[in-house]
Structure 1
Amino acid sequence: MSLNSLDIAKPPAETRVVVAMSGGVDSSVTAALLAEAGYDVVGITLQLYDGGAGPRRAGACCAGQDIHDARRVAEALGIDHYVLDYEERFRQAVIDPFADSYLAGETPIPCVACNQTVKFRDLLATAEDLGADALATGHYIETRRRGAHRAMYRPRDLDRDQSYFLYGTTQTQLDFLRFPLGTMTKDETRKVAERFGLSVAAKPDSQDICFVSKGKYFDVIRKLRPEAGEPGDIVDLNGRRLGRHEGIVNFTIGQRRGLGVAAGAPLYVVALDAATATVTVGPREALLTRRIRLRDLNWLGERSPETHAGEDGDLFVKVRSTRPPAPARIVTASGGSVEVELVLGEDGIAPGQACVFYDGMEAGAEVLGGGIIAESLSAGRTMAQEPVVATV
């Protein structure tokens, strides 16, 4: 039997696809396109947290309104729809590690953890229990069959590329997942939503951490971890005390504003030491990083990272979601730990962020995998500087 449009050897009507419906336009269009193609579509929306009453921050997502929107879309499409209570799973797998990571002086990415655990582990298992042949989402990423498995590639619309948040997908998960929007632009997606008459066609995109719907990140962290407000010193690169702070969770690498100290030249956060609650500040040039060490590596490429080590080839990395891939080299790789040389250098790299590998910069470039930045190995953050004259 020939493969259907999802690369599954069944007629669409006999192919059950679970769609993760967040209540936004992307997942709604995903469900609509699959239903239109004749697939047996089941929509599932996850109740991840209680957003509480009152106004939300601009850009915040999820909670009750989004569940309502997903339900309305499912009704309009005539597909089954279920809401699953995943609050406890979400707390254990995403929110608690997020708070602990900040306490450790890192800048975590909860969306990566959510995709790795709640969505592509727990929801995928639920989809299998429902007899699904695939789990589809509204992410802008493309996958294609390569031999017996599927490989991941940057989407057509690079402005919407979500590969930075999906690098942690395992090969087994990738083989089961489908991303119908990978060959579409966002404008095209909204036009499709309008064609179907979906109520969410003009709904704004969510652009922030879903469980921080009100206030600021450190307010959430302090509520979860009261010890997050432990005070400490703000020092220069020589260890000279410039002032005091009320918790390192209030700071991230590269931060300039809100330091609580003033000097003759701009100062930036260049290091956070959770053990001593110390915030180190310095000039902008101290932020330049040329080598990093990764942990928790997830590799999807055909060739292992060890075979790339020492090569000067077409290898690129993203160390921030908003930056394009830049040239890099794998220096060493062993036991899930990798050291990466950033050929052009990068400013403001923070432990806890992701480093994602590609075989090119363009649309269609393969996503080779990635890992969490454990450490910056640059000398610039520890080299002695002329003392900074500062006032609190």
Structure 2
Amino acid sequence: MNSLGLAKRPQDTRVVVAMSGGVDSSVTAAMLREEGYDVVGITLQLYDHGLAVMKAGACCAGQDIYDARQVADRIGIPHYVLDYEGRFSQDVMDDFADSYLRGETPIPCVRCNQRVKFRDLLNTARELGAEALATGHYVRRLVGAQGAELHRAVDPAKDQSYFLFATTREQLEFLRFPLGGLTKPETRALAERHGLEVASKPDSQDICFVPDGDYAAVVAKLRPGSVEPGEIVHIDGRVLGRHQGVVHYTVGQRKGLGIGGIKGEDEALYVVRLEPGQRRVVVGPRRDLARSVVMVREVNWLGPDRPISAGAEGMDESAGLPVSVKLRSAQPPAAALWHRTGPDSARVELLEPQHGVAPGQACVVYQGDRVLGGGWIAGTAA
């Protein structure tokens, strides 16, 4: 059994590495090449990268493709660039724009993993005769009693499990994450040891097709005429001001509301909900953000086959499965009960109310370090 859990010698095992041009995927390729694997590097061109070549910190741009090719040459592996612009535009960018227009706050990087990298690229890897697709994500793949499991990375500061909840069981059998047991400083040290020029390259920060951070401008370009002005309304019904489009706002937002304070009132105001049909942004004090119930759609389950109860003998199925959930990537997990309500839907009962739960974000379910699955937040209730 080799280090990837396959019953072959490394030199007899072909592995495709998704190379973004950053230090993480570059070290992944270098590690596997050093172990003797038959490594093939593939970089995806996902959009007109010429528009972002001059922007540092945006992945999949022209400089990144160049960097990936330089690394491949350095470690002596073949490298290919695949044009996935059409697929990316349809499956990620269009979804991003439509989600914002529905008053949601989307996560395009999850959609990219779900619909492009772990679907189309994975199929391409199989066509090339690979027995695994390796990426530079900080997450661990462990083998349990029912097969491959997804777990948090060892380094909590770099853990990317939240963004990989939509990975299916079938995909997880084929995927490998060699960096899941490393810290970022350890990864950079490996890059230096291998002589990779990307060793000190900064991590990407922006959404690749929004290199200047102006989401609303991208939505307006993708959906001309759809970003319309409307009213900013207090939760008690008072009209406080005007906005230039609901796409400029997200639930839980406090800064940049454009209405200033309310005379005679000291409480800060937050976006409580968005009503895109009425082109309305509803604001209120922080207490009005508290939510105890989250409805989830498009559930992908990676946990035990009986997800409704904790599996104890004689336990009431309606009691729910005790879990912890992350409702935004940067928020700590919250204790909850998971109730499956249909083949791809669920209701999450939060044991303590959470603030700023935004439709369109992901609800990712954990037990300890293991990712049980997750879905997209469809709605909330107090």
TM norm structure 2 = 0.94
Secondary structure of the residue aligned to 1:182 is coil
1:273 counterpart residue number = 275
Deviation at 1:58, TM superposition (A): 5.5
Alignment length, in residue pairs? Answer: 372
Does structure 2 retain, via aligned residues, the 8 Å contact 1:310–1:330? Answer: no
Q: Distance in 2 between matches of 1:313 and 1:233?
A: 41
For residue 370 of structure 1, give the secondary structure of its aligned residue in structure 2: strand
Query: Which residue does the alignment assign to 1:388?
Result: none
Once residues 328 and 215 of structure 1 are traced to their aligned partners in structure 2, the CA distance between those partners, rounded to angstroms, is 33
The answer (yes or no) to whether the contact 2:234–2:284 under 8 Å persists in 1 is: yes
Question: 1:387: which partner in 2?
Answer: none
1:180-219 residue pairs with structure 2 within 5 A?
180-219=178-217
* Gap change, CA 1:58 and 1:32, over 3 Å in 2: closer
The answer (yes or no) to whether the contact 1:231–1:246 under 8 Å persists in 2 is: yes
Q: State whether residues 30 and 180 of structure 1, in contact with CA within 8 Å, keep that contact through their aligned partners in structure 2.
A: yes
- Name which of structure 1's ranges 203-212 and 120-129 shifts more when overlaid on structure 2: 203-212
Aligned-partner residue type, residue 244 of structure 2: E
Q: 1:317 aligns with which of 325, 330, 335?
A: 325
Q: Deviations over 1:56-106 (max 9, x none)?
A: 556432210000000000000000100000000000110000000000000
Give 1:351's match in structure 2, choosing from 359, 365, 373.
359
The equivalent of 1:336 in structure 2 is 344
Contact in 1 for aligned 2:326/2:334 (Cα 8 Å): yes
Give the Cα separation in 1 of the matches to 2:371 and 2:40: 29
**Aligned partners of 1:155, 1:87: CA distance in 2, in Å?**
30
- Listed as ranges, the matches of 1:111-150 within 5 Å are 111-147=109-145, 149-150=147-148
8 Å Cα contact 1:266/1:283 also seen in 2: yes
What's the counterpart of residue 381 of structure 2? 377
The range that moved more, 51-60 or 188-197, is: 51-60
Which secondary structure state, in structure 2, belongs to the residue aligned with residue 229 of structure 1?
A: coil
- Equivalent residue for 2:313? none
> How do 1:47-58 residues align onto structure 2 when only pairs under 5 Å count?
47-53=45-51
Q: Secondary structure at the match of 1:4?
A: coil
- Counterpart of 1:104, as a letter, is R
Q: Which amino acid aligns with 1:327?
A: A
Compute the displacement of 1:228 (Å): 3.2
- Mean CA deviation greater in 205-214 or 28-37: 205-214
Point out where structure 1 has 5 or more consecutive residues left out of the alignment: 379-392
Amino acid at match of 1:37: E
Aligned 1:1-392 pairs, distance under 5 A: 3-53=1-51, 59-147=57-145, 149-262=147-260, 263=262, 264=265, 265-308=267-310, 310-311=318-319, 314-360=322-368, 365-378=369-382
Task: Work out the CA distance in 2 between the residues paired with 1:279 and 1:80.
Answer: 51
Closer, same or farther: CA 219–162 of 1 in aligned 2, 3 Å: same
Q: RMSD across aligned C-alpha pairs, in angstroms?
A: 1.5
Q: Distance in 1 between matches of 2:57 and 2:25?
A: 17
Classify the secondary structure of the residue corresponding to 2:298. strand
Measure, in 2, the Cα distance between the counterparts of 1:56 and 1:190.
Answer: 24
Distance 1:102 1:141, change over 3 A: same
CA distance in 2, matches of 1:54, 1:60: 7
Q: Which stretch of the first structure deviates more once superposed, 45-54 or 303-312?
A: 303-312
How many angstroms apart in 2 are the aligned matches of 1:105 and 1:136?
Answer: 35
The amino acid across from 2:379 in the alignment is E
CA contact (8 A) 1:55 1:214 kept: no
Counterpart Cα distance in 1 of 2:173 and 2:101:
36
SS at match of 2:374: strand
Q: 1:251 to 1:228 in 2, by over 3 A?
A: farther
| Residue identity matched to 2:363 | C
Q: Distance in 1 between matches of 2:188 and 2:52?
A: 29
Q: Percent identity?
A: 59
Aligned letter for 1:93? D
Amino acid at match of 2:361: Q
One-letter code aligned to 1:338:
A
Uncovered stretches (5+) of structure 2, i.e. residues with no partner: 311-316
* Paired AA for residue 24 in structure 2: D
Q: State the SS of the aligned residue for 1:114.
A: helix
